Amino acid sequence: MGGGPEYPQRGEHERELLLCVLPWPEKASEKVIGEIRDEFPNLEMHYIAQTYEDLKTGKTEVPEDLCKRASYLATLSWLPLHVSSVPNVKFIQFYSAGTNHVAKHPIYTDSKIPLCSASGVHGPQIAEWVIMMDLVHSHKYTILYDAQKRKEWKQKVGMEGVSDNVGKRVGVLGYGSIGRQVARVAKAMGMDVIAYTASPRPTPESRRDGGFIVPGTGDPEGEYPSAWFSGLNKDSLHEFLKQKIDLLVLSVPLTKETTHFLSTEEFALLNEVNPAGTYIANISRGQVIDQPTLVKALERKQIRGAALDVTDPEPLPADDPLWTAPNCLITPHVSGSTTVYAERAFQVLRENLRRERDGKHLVNEVDRDRGY
């Protein structure tokens, strides 16, 4: 381990405390937790498993003395009410892709405690969701499945207008860990990939992925896109949308700049440059799309369809017109789910424990000014 000490210590016999407040049973990640305990024998771990009701109400009982002693906090959403409650915390490891859900909390706004996301653990399963939804639509599967339930053999329905993805273009709006894995799968299917980022990526070094990467996934070197675009203003976005995109994947963090990033003007532009229709997959946050204008775009056939794992608001009210919009597939914010989610998130935590020990920069540390 680089010849460093086993673990940073406060005293010869005093162990540092890792406090985990998470909505999974400890057993779900026992393998990687055991590896962390073996690697850091001077680290004490206390695990509090939250219930669904805890998450729903936001009320989780965590003893005050544990908060006071904690050197590291691992959490999905729970935080103590006050910064003073965690005087010894060196960093907080969130098990979520972003931290916008705590952006108004005093620990976010009034402290300098490093906050780290679990960005990177969602890439494989969400990329599969994106490609699955695109294929379900392009191969008319929902229509065929409805026919199956009616016990009807409708071969013609499954043959008309079906197209494969070879030679089509996927535009990834937000080329982070999820977008990079979408690109990897899309390239394997013979698609062209173009990328959009907030800041310019003109050099090979700037295009590398500096975050956590699930081994064997993603685009670590930024090699897949045939073209890169960037910016946080509408003119830059429009230049990207003019590239005749067949599948547009929204994977940007929710910030002031990205709120309603796609609205009336953008849907009209997509239709103008690609009359055959762009298919939109949103796995970021519902507010990135101006939802009423999306419904109109679907009704007017300005876009080919939409697959949404996020909506505005959530849960989506039963009377919202989005439910019945044509060519729209909706799932209840589940694309990031996988049986190994918690295990992967603990791998991010382990990496940050190593980096903190070795005096290196933390992985996935949130830039509070940028919001991600």
Instruction: Please pick, among 15, 260, 333, 350, the residue that the annotation labels catalytic.
Output: 333
Phi, psi of 307 (to 5 degrees): -120, 120
Instruction: Please pick, among 169, 201, 207, 285, the residue that the annotation labels catalytic.
Output: 285
Max Cα-Cα span within the chain: 76
The owner of tokens 């960037």 is: 230
Instruction: Please pick, among 221, 314, 361, 370, the residue that the annotation labels catalytic.
Output: 314
Measured distance CA(29)–CA(340) in Å, rounded: 8
Phi, psi of 92 (to 5 degrees): -115, 125
Nearest to residue 67, comparing CAs of 84, 54, 53, 49? 84
Is 39 noted as a catalytic residue in this protein? no
CB burial of residue 275 (10 Å; 0-12, 13-18, 19+): exposed
Is 15 noted as a catalytic residue in this protein? no
The count of other CB atoms within 10 Å of the CB of residue 163 is: 11
State the Cα angle at 217 between 134 and 103, rounded to 5°: 80
Measured distance CA(131)–CA(182) in Å, rounded: 8
Is 105 noted as a catalytic residue in this protein? no
Nearby residues of 1 by Cβ (< 8 Å), 6 or more positions away: 39, 354, 357, 358
Does residue 313 have a cis bond before it (omega within 30 degrees)? yes
Nearest to residue 195, comparing CAs of 134, 265, 252, 143? 252
Catalytic residues: 285, 314, 333
